[in-house]
Structure 1
Amino acid sequence: MSSQNIKMAIADMFEDLSSSNFDNFRDELLHRKEGPRVARIRVEGKSRLEITNVLVSTFTETGAVGVAAEMLREIGCNEEADQLVRNTTGKH
């Protein structure tokens, strides 16, 4: 899958999240234990598209999907995580 399609899939997933789940996602991303870490200034108050760009620039396209899915599961959005993985890998 091309990087543009991966970015679009992540951005689309964010659009489907409620505001509270999106806030939880940003918070979870900030407190992620594994590196690379994401600086608060790159996340706080940022839009869904800006967070998509942060994920891709920090973790690469393929890594961003895994990190996003991991963070979604941490906040209890398992269905969204599964959908994102399906949309980016073609695995059902």
Structure 2
Amino acid sequence: MSSQNIKMAIADMFEGLSRINFDNFCDELLYRKEEPRVTRIRVEGKSRLEITNVLVSTFTETGAVEVAEEILRGIDCNEEADQLAARP
């Protein structure tokens, strides 16, 4: 999957999340214990597209999908995680 396709897949997934689930995703992203960590200033008050860019710039394209999928499963958004993982 190309960089642009990965960004689009993550952005599309975020568009399908409710506001509550998006906020939960952002909270979990902030509290991940693994490195690299994401700072609060890069997440708080940011749009779905901005969070997509934070994921890709922090974790690279491949890592961004893995981290997003892990967080989605952690907040019981398994359907969204499955859809993201199934993207070609």
- Fold conserved between structures, TM > 0.5: yes
Deviation at 1:17, TM superposition (A): 0.1
Q: Once superposed, which parts of structure 1, at least 4 consecutive aligned residues long, lie more than 4 Å away?
A: none
- Partner of residue 24, structure 2: 24
Q: What do you get for the CA RMSD once the two structures are aligned?
A: 0.5
Task: Deviation per CA, 1:41-64: give whole Å up to 9, x if none.
Answer: 000010000000000000000000
- Partner of residue 44, structure 2: 44
Whole-angstrom distance in 2 between the partners of 1:33 and 1:83: 25
State, as a whole percentage, how many aligned pairs show the same letter. 82
Deviation at 1:69, TM superposition (A): 0.2
Deviation at 1:2, TM superposition (A): 0.5
Deviation at 1:38, TM superposition (A): 0.0
Name the TM-score, length of structure 1 as normaliser.
0.94
SS in 2 for 1:32: coil
Gaps of 5+ in 2: none
Whole-angstrom distance in 2 between the partners of 1:40 and 1:63: 20
Q: Number of paired residues?
A: 88
